[in-house]
Copies of this chain bind each other. A is one copy, B any other.
Amino acid sequence: EILAGIEMRFREGPLSGKRILVTSGPTHEPIDPVRYIANRSSGAQGRAIASALVGLGAHVVFVTGPAEVPPPEGVELIRVETARQMLAAVQSALPADAGVFVAAVADWRVASEADTKLKKSRDGLPVLEFAENPDILKTVSRMAEGRPGLVVGFAAETDNVLEHATAKRARKGCDWIVANDVSHATGIMGGSENAVTLITDEGAEGWPRMGKDEVARRLAHRIAAALAE
């Protein structure tokens, strides 16, 4: 732990001395002590981005839900389960020079969570009601004080990718959106490749389909260029 810390401090590269927050993986929202709601995010893209940023010399705080892939090496690792825990971890990790929000955060949690019995419908089957989860990307993007200089969100869309992702950028208030098409036909969800569109205040830029590692390297270099300005 101590050695890793020292190693981090002296890593050289275009992002040396920069502190970057990356969220990754799915969140799990408990229904009761044994059941939970999950999503199919593997954590592979978030891991790749964190690795690429570390490779350019950044100090990366990696906040991850229960991902399938192991966390990358050389990061400051914070493991969480729920969206609310992820927001708390993100807030405690700030300030940072940039934040890259790759995690697939559950929009809602079960309202009647915990050790209590589930509500039952007339036929004896449970009915689950939900409460809205905090919107981590929006919360950070709209911080009055201590907002990272560059906030990057991700948008997994199944149709009208460009339109939906552009609207999401405006709604959240983030600087960039990395949009990807996760419709069944692309086979991207859970796969090793990604076809993304980078949306900034200068417009939309479609990247060719490439490996998640290559998407990560390209994005890391763009972040380094933006932070050098």
Q: Point out residues on A near B: beta carbons under 8 Å.
A: 28, 31, 33-41, 104, 106, 108, 121, 125-132, 156, 158, 182, 184, 189
Contact = CB atoms under 8 A, between A and B. Distances in A.
Contact of A158 (B33, B37, B121, B128): B33
Given A121-B129, A125-B131, A128-B128, A37 B35 contact: yes
A121 B131 CA distance: 11
B40 A38 contact: no
Contacts of A34: 39-41, 104, 156, 182, 189
A41 B36 CA distance: 11
Nearest first, the 6 A-B pairs at minimum CB distance are A128-B128, A125-B130, A35-B39, A34-B39, A38-B38, A34-B40
Contacts of A132: 125
A120 to B, nearest CB: 10
B125 A127 contact: no
A39 B36 CA distance: 6
Given A33-B184, A121-B129, 19 more contacts: A28-B38, A31-B37, A33-B158, A34-B40, A34-B41, A34-B156, A35-B38, A35-B40, A37-B37, A38-B38, A108-B125, A108-B126, A121-B130, A125-B131, A125-B132, A126-B130, A127-B128, A127-B130, A128-B130
